[in-house]
Structure 1
């Protein structure tokens, strides 16, 4: 048997440790290759696909993230393998193997693993790249699907990049075992562990850091986000580190002193072991908790933006299509019969139809309504009756009904800073003249909201008493009124072709008085969908790696746990009790950092909701639920494999 065969047999013998590392590496290579296949696709490079250039830049950034993350992930994995194999290296040295030969064996093992992982990863990447191209074609709304093509540059970049990464890690591994002595290697697993200690001051520091960071995140606003983001990240990260290195030890010490809990059934064994396991694995659990927070925050942000865009779009464009006409019986923008004919022809149902009669009121900065053009109307506040406004406002959750007395008014603008140069501020008296009639209205209240698209009316409304509005309207010629039309269509997200037909009915010079929600929504949805699609791939990679880190750590301690449980069986502990103890320990190691990451993410969602003015918590809980279910699947797989090897006593 030569050295290459010996290295291959070593890998097979330690396959339970290599398994998670190998699969995680394969997944990293696969994602990297799929992105590279898109980046180097001829149609993308030559600009034949609209919108692909921006996606390509985003994927290039993801490639760097994947490579950097893979470097540290593989570095940690090899360090874990090294620790679990110190006794093996010591025995090999005792049997006469030189340090140079141990180096050679490690190099062969890593080359074997890396070549197989790269080959399998590229193979799966090639297999799934067609599905990826089909998904990208749908998201980019390409007429013809992106053709299947395996770019040679993608193959070379992926294979060479990851092979070089694995070899760099091999050099670090060789450096770590260079100065190890035989006796140290043999005794590495048998060194007695000192009881873990903690500092009460560091425990307090952890609580203060987390409490301060959470408070700042909770009260973050648009104005303070740039000042708070870095301090919050620093405080939460520092607090999390001491939470696992200090607070966890303090909590389990407290449980040991709580005798009713400590002496209940097998808790004595479970808690005693967890004191050491939590301390030994503190850094790993800290990293996993931070990774969990990053995964949840990033995925949640992508998902919140994706889902929130629809709500924000509906707020900005309350109707699927809307347009404005000067004059009650004039239809310069579009003929209503033709519009309804298009809707009937396409079988599109109208859920709500609005016809809002308003009276433009001139100010000192705009001409009178009689001499104004429709363009001038956009700079005038629009007087609307109380009944008409309340009828339309009842359809929207962000608008409230108003109660206006005679001589008073309530102002509603789509922008809090838009108050018609302070002519409509709360507490002021608005003065305007309609022919020989002077209108004076005391502004009682001012609030923000969209009744129609702000592109049709960006000045705002003056809501007046119904009877007073009717009196004013009687003195206004019909041709001087400003009519706002709005149509809310059923299944409006898919009404793009119908809206395009309606737009074709509008004269070119009148296009600015027509607005549609569909086109803007589809553009925004395309960007959001691409961001969500790409971001979830990278987030899933982080998730697989974080779970694998716990997997590595558990199997690193497998021999120690086997020795412990052999002793427990000798004193009468049953296999069922050992299974319960092990399940509880693995569950806590898996889910404690997960729950810490969830708490971090909840405050991140709160800050995100404050900044974007979106109820992000609902969407955040969806992401958290999916993450916990995935973590649960990973836990059951790891538990099954661990118990399978542990019970081989």
Structure 2
């Protein structure tokens, strides 16, 4: 038998241990290859957002590759530690350290090459489906299939280098131990897990510091402190706090010394201590993926809500109210589409008060705005006004910033002729004006007063907006074939022609449409969502792979314990219940911790975007992770219990 054959037979004999590592590696290769196939597609640059999508996939492929480095490094080093006994036997039979190192490199390269072949093969089989899903999900034109030679070469070279370099690096875990040390390394009796009170308190301090930092201020320094202390606190939570909690729990004999409870609680202290690093990695990986997904889905949810709340799907923003743009082409487009519409024109200017900048509008324009939306109209006398709070973040009204004026208050405008004081007669909250005029506050004055105030300003200081309300379009998000999408595209084309024609004197403003704003933002969030789905799948499968391998590594020791306990009367059902609880804790406890960490972190981030409702994104993300983890749990639990059953008397 040649040396390569011996290495290949070793892999085949240890197939049960290697299978999860192989599948996870192959899946990473497949996703990396799929991204590369899109990036180097010859037609990508011709698409409207093709370059942006390709850039996003480049970032995603780097994330996949960096994660693959850590995953392969951890997996191979863990494999080597679990094979001490095998290496000890080979040493007794005459194998030299150099031969064992060569054997390890050959085995790793065999698995690496198989993973690369399987990953690229799977990627080629699903390439057409991947390209179709990408374009449909993001809203791009379909891409034709091509043979991705460049993507293949980059994938093969990148992962061959990865497997070879990590194989060389992990040889340090073998060292030059003697045969006796290798033979007894994995079978030495374990000492009872101990936790340090100092490190436990330090872990709590780290977690508390991270919480305070993230809720204090979202500065770069605060985010960095929260990230570092949060990650460090999570590690100490598993390595110290959880072990300490189990030790304290075991002192309660009345509750613990009951049935198989003592068995699985005692075993969990060993398993959590032994697997602290692995549980920490799984928690951090899932938490990071979940935080990103919740933020992206929350932004997409807000984008849809903004679309539904916008009663004016077409707006023409006039630079200067002194100009009179020709709106006939817009009306012709709407008439040609057979649409009934209402048109409103608003004029306003910006000035300042003691509290900051504010916009000023005439009463007739405001009443026209309200009439279209079936809202009440108002009357005003001279030197009175209506104060409109247009801040779109509900909590911002309780923060420092522009003062929220109440009925009966006085508001002073800084004008060229001197201060003008208004008695506030009414107050309203209208977040719509925040998007229309990009202002946090608005005051409505009588028509005569507006003319007098505007007359003090330069002619270009007064701006205007043409607003179109189209009842038939409603507030539901349309598809690409809807009349709103087609009208929006046509108006965008008209706007682009005007902008690009330097000789055109009708360049008085620009169009904005509800659909275009929504679609541009949706494409961005769709891109991140699409990329995040595959990265999340990699993280999920890899975490299951970590857990599977750790359970397989402990199988021999657990089998000996179960064999001894079965002689003392342990039934199969009792063993099954105890093992199920232990596996469930290893699988679902990191999910629980990552849920808590995600909820703590995303709240202040989303608050900055004005998002206070994010329960649906949270439930969606963790429902997906929980579903995937439950699927892996039942598969691995079945195999693990089946193996233990064979070892019972």
What TM-score does the superposition give when structure 2 sets the normalisation length?
Answer: 0.82
Give the equivalent residue in structure 1 for 2:486: 497
How far the C-alpha of 1:643 sits from its partner, in A, is: 1.6
Shift of 1:48: 2.6
Contact 2:334 2:487 in 1 (8 A): no
- 1:192 alignment partner, SS class: coil
Q: Retained in 1: the 8 A contact 2:333–2:487?
A: no
Residue 384 of structure 1 contacts residue 463 of structure 1 at CA under 8 Å; is this kept in 2? no
The 3-state SS of whatever aligns with 1:264 is coil
Matched positions, count: 601
CA contact (8 A) 1:252 1:271 kept: yes
Shift of 1:56: 2.1
1:577 equivalent in structure 2: 574
User: How far apart are residue 86 of structure 1 and its match?
Assistant: 1.0
Give the secondary-structure state (helix, strand or coil) at the position aligned to 2:126.
helix
Residue 56 of structure 2: aligned partner: 58
Asked whether 1:124 is paired with 2:122, we answer yes
1:427 aligned residue (410, 419, 438): 410
The answer for the alignment partner of 1:278 in structure 2 is: 272
CA-CA distance at 1:577 after TM superposition = 0.7
User: Aligned pair in 2 of structure 1 residues 576, 140: CA closer, same or farther (>3 Å)?
Assistant: closer
User: 1:429-475 CA deviation, whole Å, 9 max, x = no partner?
Assistant: 56999xxxxx97413677764446855796975446xxx889999xx
Residue in structure 2 matching 1:205, options 198, 202, 205: 202
CA RMSD of superposed structures (Å): 3.9
Q: Could you tell me whether the CA contact under 8 Å between 1:41 and 1:149 is conserved in 2? A: yes
- Aligned-pair CA distance for 1:141: 4.5
Structure 1 equivalent of residue 18 of structure 2: 18
- Alpha-carbon deviation of 1:554? 1.3
How far the C-alpha of 1:96 sits from its partner, in A, is: 2.9
Do the aligned partners of residues 528 and 89 (structure 1) sit closer, same or farther apart at CA in structure 2, a change above 3 Å counting? same
Counterpart pick for 2:191 among 172, 189, 194:
194
1:321 aligns with 2:319: no
1:93 is aligned to: 91
1:593 paired to 2:590: yes
Q: Is residue 49 of structure 1 aligned with residue 47 of structure 2? A: yes
Cα deviation, 1:261-311, whole Å, max 9, x if unaligned, reads 211210111111111111111111111111111111122222223332233
Given that 1:22 and 1:113 are in contact with CA atoms closer than 8 Å, whether structure 2 keeps it comes out as yes
SS in 1 for 2:478: helix
| Residue 485 of structure 1: how far off its partner (Å) | 4.1
SS of residue matched to 2:94: coil
TM-score (normalizing by structure 1): 0.82
What whole-Å deviation, never above 9, does each CA across 1:382-439 have from its counterpart, x for those lacking one? 32588767667788xxxxx99988664222265799xxxx999873256999xxxxx9
For residues 447 and 115 of structure 2, what CA distance do their matches in structure 1 show? 76
Q: 2:423 aligns with which of 442, 449, 459?
A: 442
Following TM superposition, by how much is the alpha carbon of 1:142 offset from its aligned partner in structure 2, in angstroms? 4.2
CA distance in 2, matches of 1:432, 1:65: 55
Alignment of 1:390-469 (within 5 A): 408-412=384-388, 427-429=410-412, 441-443=422-424, 449-451=430-432, 454=435, 461-463=442-444
2:155 maps to what in 1?
158
1:551 alignment partner, one of 548, 554, 568: 548
The answer to whether 1:614 aligns with 2:614 is no
1:356–1:485 Cα contact (<8 Å) kept? yes
Who is 1:370 aligned against?
A: none
CA distance in 2, matches of 1:362, 1:81: 68
Once the two structures are TM-superposed, the CA of residue 578 in structure 1 deviates from its matched residue by 0.5
The offset of 1:558, in angstroms, is 0.9
Higher deviation after alignment, 405-414 or 202-211? 405-414
Superposed CA deviations along residues 494-520 of structure 1, whole A, max 9, x for unmatched, are 321133456789996387375411122
Hey, what does 1:114 align to over in structure 2?
112
Which of the residues 167, 184, 188 maps onto 2:181? 184
* Counterparts of 1:4 and 1:97, CA distance in 2: 15
**Structure 1 residue 105, shift from structure 2 partner:** 2.6
Q: How far does residue 3 in structure 1 lie from its aligned partner after superposition?
A: 2.7
State the shift of 1:122 in Å: 0.4
Q: What are structure 2's unaligned runs of at least 5 residues?
A: 397-401, 452-463, 499-505
Residue 540 (structure 1) aligned with residue 520 (structure 2) = no
**Structure 2 CA distance for partners of 1:96 and 1:445, relative to 1, 3 Å:** farther
Cα distance, 1:233–1:115 mapped onto 2, change above 3 Å: same
Contact persistence 1:66–1:538 (CA under 8 A) = yes
For 1:282 and 1:503, the matched residues in 2 are separated by 56
Deviation at 1:160, TM superposition (A): 1.7
SS at match of 1:411: strand
Instruction: Choose from 358, 361, 367 the match for 1:381.
Output: 361
User: Matches of residues 155-304 of structure 1 in structure 2 within 5 Å?
Assistant: 155-218=152-215, 220=217, 224-304=218-298
Determine the C-alpha separation between the residues in 1 that align with 2:116 and 2:162.
11
Whether contact under 8 Å (1:285, 1:589) holds in the other structure is yes
Among 486, 496, 506, the alignment partner of 2:469 is: 486
Measured in 1, the distance between the counterparts of 2:152 and 2:316 equals 53
Q: Describe the shift of the 1:385–1:157 C-alpha distance in structure 2 as closer, same or farther (beyond 3 A).
A: closer
Deviates more, 1:205-214 or 1:505-514: 505-514
Which consecutive unaligned segments of at least 5 residues does structure 1 have?
A: 366-377, 396-400, 434-438, 474-480
Query: Contact 1:355–1:485 (CA<8 Å) still a contact in 2?
Result: yes
Secondary structure of the residue that 1:442 maps to in structure 2? strand
